[in-house]
Amino acid sequence: MIFHDLLTLFEEGGYRMNVRLQCRFYIPALRLVERGMGVCILDPISVYSYHSDAQSGKVVFRCFEPEVFLKTAIMYPSGVPQSMITQEFAGRLREKIAYLQNNPEQLLDW
């Protein structure tokens, strides 16, 4: 879905995306970027995760405009009460996502 949103945004801006390779997961995509073999458009959660795994200076992050909206969801099994640890995890995840949405510069200044 994000690919089609990006394609539409590029076309509306008068540009053509020249896609030669798509990666389903962010780590292989960023390994290609590290080697100078392409670019990658990532969601903030993946950028944040990458920061915890990679050497600084190998990849430069920039904001992409116009914004592309990514819906995230926490799914629970139906009919099963949520444990306290599940509730705590979900709350912390929501807080972190809200923080990253409100402070995107934290992802770029690395």
The three-state (H, E, C) secondary structure of 76-104, written as one string: CCCCCCCCHHHHHHHHHHHHHHHHHHHCC
Q: What is the pTM of this model?
A: 0.65
Q: How far is CA 74 from CA 32, 36, 40, 71, in A?
A: 30, 35, 25, 10
Q: Where are the domains of the chain?
A: 2-108
Each residue's pLDDT tens digit in the chain (110 positions)? 678 888 999 999 999 988 888 888 888 998 899 999 988 888 878 888 888 777 777 888 888 888 777 778 889 999 999 999 999 999 999 998 888 888 877 766 55
What b/e sequence results for 43-67 when a residue is b if at least 16 CB atoms lie within 10 Å of its CB, and e otherwise? ebbbbbebeeeeeeeebebeeeeee
Contact 69, 41 (CB under 8 A): no
